[in-house]
Structure 1
Amino acid sequence: MSKANSQLLVIDDDAIVRDSIVAYLQDSGFEVLEAENGEHGLEVFQQHTPDLILCDLRMPRLDGLGVLRRVREESPDTPFIVVSGAGVMADVVEALRLGASDYIIKPIVDLEVLEHAVNRALDNAELVRQNQIYRESLEDAIASLRESLDVLREDQKAGRQVQLKMLPPQPFLMGNYFIDYKIWPSLYLSGDFVDYFAINEHSFGFYLADVSGHGASSAFVTVLLKHMSLSLLQEFQAGDMDRLARPSVVLSAINKNLLASELGKHVTVFGGVVDTRTNQLTYSVGGHFPQPILSMGGQSRYLEDRGLPVGLFPDVDYTDITIDLSGPFTLTIFSDGILEVLPQETLKEKEQYLLSVINEQADSADAVMSGLNVNSLREAPDDIALLVLGGNAG
């Protein structure tokens, strides 16, 4: 919340102190309301619902604690900073217990300290508000997933529609980056899954997962993967910055949860996070094969590292690898079902064929599948998923 959009209420019975605080905060860019006592302060609060209240504790008739109690009854989340003399710390403790955001000790020698406290309280209130919005949207998403899971168990056709709805909209665009994908199920339901999501204003995460087996049981695990990724994103938004910023931590968490589910299913995963400020990709591999193909500067190569499948072995340590994405590039990721439909006989020949095709045309999922002559594929012995990440961060 910017200063220009923030309205403050200053309540103090000492006119000299109140005037100095109001003048300083106005000079700092805030819109400031004022009241000379607690009762007047409550009237102004109810009329204008300011973004923050700055209130003296010791006032006649209705003191600061009384004002705080009344404000908390009507608006539990409004930031409330108390101003107290040095000799009444017991009241400060009580104010903090009642939900005050911060306190300032009189006399206020340096008004910059006051401004800092105001900015900090406003920032914290905005974070609480954003987290509340996210929690509500996450609860709706989880409720939708639970309803979807019930439908999936009852009817495969309806389940297919549900699974399609869980897939992210495409194409995904952030800055100079895009993501495109395609999925072909071998049965009506797919054990392959892709997802991507904005993490914050300058980074996004993505993954391609291939669940062992086929059909409804494998599709069920894709629902769990979607649920787990939403939960991890919630933790990240709540302040656990390590969870999604490091793909290896995400794979470890999914590995632990899949083992605990005792479904007898494991997943091969390639997951990454792109930072659009540094133009870097940090990725982690959980048994994914074939390795993703990076095309940059007129050359294509397979990325390093394979790792162990997710949900198969306990206490697996996954690693993070960071690469530079500056300049035009595409990163093409397949599930292993693609190898089943290529005409070459040996694995080495299939891998070389993938490299040669992608080196020529890999700017979209359709272009890749057209180059491989499988764009019109109707039946396949295994699920096939394809995700293309590209960009031009010159």
Structure 2
Amino acid sequence: MAKLTVLVVDDEELILHVLLRFFRRRGDRCDVAPGGAEALRLVEAQRYDLVISDIAMPEMNGLELIRRVKERQPDAVCILMSGLGTRGDIIEALKIGVFDFIDKPIPDLAALTMVIDRAAESGRLVRERNALLENLREQNTKLEYSLLRLHEAFAQLHQQEAVLESDLQKAQRVQRTFLPAGFPRVANFDFFGYYAPCDQLGGDFFGTLALADGRMALYLVDVAGHGVSAAMITVTFRELMRAGHRSTGQDALFGEPARVLRTMNEALIAEHFDPPIYVSMIYAVIDPGSGEVNVAAAGHPPPILVARGGAAGDVEVGGTVLGTPAVTDYRAKRLLLGPGDALLFYSDGLSEMRSPQGRELSADQLREIMARQHAQPARTIGAEVERRFLEHLEGAASTDDITFLVVARTAAAVEPTVRRPDEIIPDSVKIVMPEKLRRVSGGARGQIHAGFRGRTCIVQFRGLTTWQLAPALREMLQAAKARAEPPVCIDLDGCEALDSTMLGLLLQQSADLMLHQPNPRVLGQLHEMGVLHLFKISHDPCPQPQVAMAITPAESKQACSDLILSAHEALMEASARNREKFRDVVESLRQENAAAVHAPPK
């Protein structure tokens, strides 16, 4: 236990002498004062963990002294000594925050030690609580300010809608310039690219790089998320790539896919984005002369190869998503494409898209599509992929950006000339932008409320619900388990979005929940996490509670940290893709929690 700083106040010299020796033998620092005036002078100059005072002293009694000490040092633990204390004195002492009483003459030292140890522990808990509350106040102030600014922005949305739509259209045109107008003509190869963001701006992009030795690099990038924020990140990531390629002597680097991924991972980490940015990427180098394709991937779905005879299968390449500090040994795989062979590179928005009935398109169906396309032109293959996924959606909108590239070998090499960079293949890139602006609803501060209707528990989500509400949600779900019958009705009608902690917490209880009226954004989040199929969904209005639930979530920093970790562990275990996506995040949270548990007391 940490050593204490103690002040003993008594007008009896013997008491001061005994307690001074007692605390010094314990290794504590101890000051003594014969009266209230001297004690207050010491309190002004020194912070004390523990103040022990006689209750009956001339000039200033112990109650008045403790009251003044508490005004100056609210965290100090105070103990009164008295052999003549009345019931009124005890009540008054409790009112001003006295922790305990010691009878005079002083009892045996073992009993005194127990009182002191309990007082020290109480003081430590008070300081920790106050530090946490102060931190929460600071964070809440920042959050209140941020939310206030958000409310101001949302209040102007209806007035600015026309301007916003115009700006988004301009931004679309700018982002459109980041994508190639078409693929360059390359001897013996044919290409097709498709891009359809689910919002006005997307987080996917692709392109090519000309290498000095006549080879061509081809890449497809998927920034986590979609919409405006993801689009801004694509600008940053694209510039990191372009800057590296323009640098003198970097041509050899960009001819080696595994090195490119390592370099881009290091560049992302060096930018110190907060929160971190995660990017999946596939990068290939094509040699038109030999038909060789050298490919590597980072957190990206494996490409599909259709080879002679129409057999289609995955090209097993993989590595951790870019932006994670974990050391990853990216490895490239060399393929030799023969005439008629083709590769399909795609983002997970294609393979994980769901029909209105919740059926996933899946990589299996993509392999089946590709198996029937051997020896077809790249544009024909791309048109068939588009036809099939539109048929799968049945007219519904996709909840994620859809991007894919087709690389087809057309004929055996007949000459060393490998490309004509000033000429592009007509109609080799197709971009499909959303037709209308998605209206943004007025943002509400994140809130959750719970109550009961008979034996049914209802939890209502409102606004942007984030990790700060997770302790309250946990208490609500625990109360529901104790007092109600499953399923717990989760009312999402007024919920704009959930962060990953809230998603993970709901996932842990998914078997006992019914999600009512989730909006497309929330459904999209569940789909992106690969957990939509684990929830029961109802589009009927949620019943309204008749009796409110009162809860008091624990204000423990460690408990909140454990809750965040537990939620992300649940997400990680939901699918193989999530294990890859969240592995390093969860490991980082585990290390932070372990460090917090073993940190020495302040």
CA distance in 1, matches of 2:205, 2:348: 13
> Residue 384 of structure 2 corresponds to which residue in structure 1?
367
For residue 158 of structure 1, report the CA deviation from its aligned partner.
1.7
Alignment of 1:345-360 (within 5 A): 350-360=362-372
For residue 178 of structure 1, report the CA deviation from its aligned partner.
2.3
For residue 350 of structure 1, report the CA deviation from its aligned partner.
2.2
**Residue 262 of structure 2: which of 252, 255, 268 is its match?**
252
> Residue 158 of structure 1 corresponds to which residue in structure 2?
170
**Residue 304 of structure 1: which of 316, 320, 331 is its match?**
316
* Structure 1 residues 345 and 305: CA distance shift in structure 2, 3 A: farther
For residue 319 of structure 1, report the CA deviation from its aligned partner.
1.1
Are 1:223 and 2:241 matched, yes or no? no
CA distance in 1, matches of 2:213, 2:270: 34
CA-based RMSD: 2.5
CA distance in 1, matches of 2:271, 2:201: 21
CA distance in 2, matches of 1:307, 1:391: 26
Are 1:382 and 2:400 matched, yes or no? yes
> Residue 187 of structure 2 corresponds to which residue in structure 1?
175
8 Å CA contact 1:199, 1:233 repeated in 2? no
Letter in 1 for 2:205: F
Are 1:392 and 2:392 matched, yes or no? no
**Residue 293 of structure 1: which of 290, 296, 304 is its match?**
304
TM-score by length of 1: 0.56
Alignment of 1:204-223 (within 5 A): 204-223=216-235
How many pairs align? 238
Are 1:337 and 2:355 matched, yes or no? no
Letter in 1 for 2:306: S
For residue 386 of structure 1, report the CA deviation from its aligned partner.
1.0
Q: Taking every aligned residue pair, what percent have the same amino acid on both sides?
A: 26
Q: Which runs of 5+ in 1 are unaligned?
A: 1-151
CA distance in 2, matches of 1:359, 1:377: 26
Letter in 2 for 1:320: A
CA distance in 2, matches of 1:169, 1:207: 15
8 Å CA contact 1:333, 1:386 repeated in 2? yes
CA distance in 2, matches of 1:174, 1:228: 26
CA distance in 1, matches of 2:395, 2:263: 35
TM-score by length of 2: 0.37
Query: What is the DSSP-based 3-state SS (H/G/I as helix, E as strand, rest coil) of the residue aligned with 1:389?
Result: strand
> Residue 24 of structure 1 corresponds to which residue in structure 2?
none
> Residue 315 of structure 1 corresponds to which residue in structure 2?
327
For residue 228 of structure 1, report the CA deviation from its aligned partner.
2.1
> Residue 232 of structure 1 corresponds to which residue in structure 2?
244
For residue 326 of structure 1, report the CA deviation from its aligned partner.
2.6
8 Å CA contact 2:190, 2:410 repeated in 1? no
Task: Report Cα offsets for 1:23-53 as digits up to 9, x if no partner.
Answer: xxxxxxxxxxxxxxxxxxxxxxxxxxxxxxx
Task: Report Cα offsets for 1:111-142 as digits up to 9, x if no partner.
Answer: xxxxxxxxxxxxxxxxxxxxxxxxxxxxxxxx
Instruction: Name the structure, 1 or 2, with higher relative contact order (CA <8 Å, separation 6+).
Output: 1
State the structure with more CA Rg.
2
Letter in 2 for 1:250: V
8 Å CA contact 1:251, 1:318 repeated in 2? yes
For residue 239 of structure 1, report the CA deviation from its aligned partner.
3.1
Letter in 2 for 1:380: S
> Residue 242 of structure 1 corresponds to which residue in structure 2?
252
Task: Report Cα offsets for 1:287-344 as digits up to 9, x if no partner.
Answer: 102x211111121111102211011234322112111113221111111011343549
For residue 376 of structure 1, report the CA deviation from its aligned partner.
9.1
For residue 377 of structure 1, report the CA deviation from its aligned partner.
6.2
CA distance in 1, matches of 2:332, 2:303: 15
8 Å CA contact 1:340, 1:381 repeated in 2? no
CA distance in 2, matches of 1:389, 1:377: 28
CA distance in 1, matches of 2:289, 2:183: 21
For residue 283 of structure 1, report the CA deviation from its aligned partner.
0.9
> Residue 3 of structure 1 corresponds to which residue in structure 2?
none
Single out whichever of 371-380 and 306-315 deviates more from structure 2: 371-380
* Structure 1 residues 377 and 208: CA distance shift in structure 2, 3 A: farther
> Residue 277 of structure 1 corresponds to which residue in structure 2?
289
* Structure 1 residues 393 and 353: CA distance shift in structure 2, 3 A: same
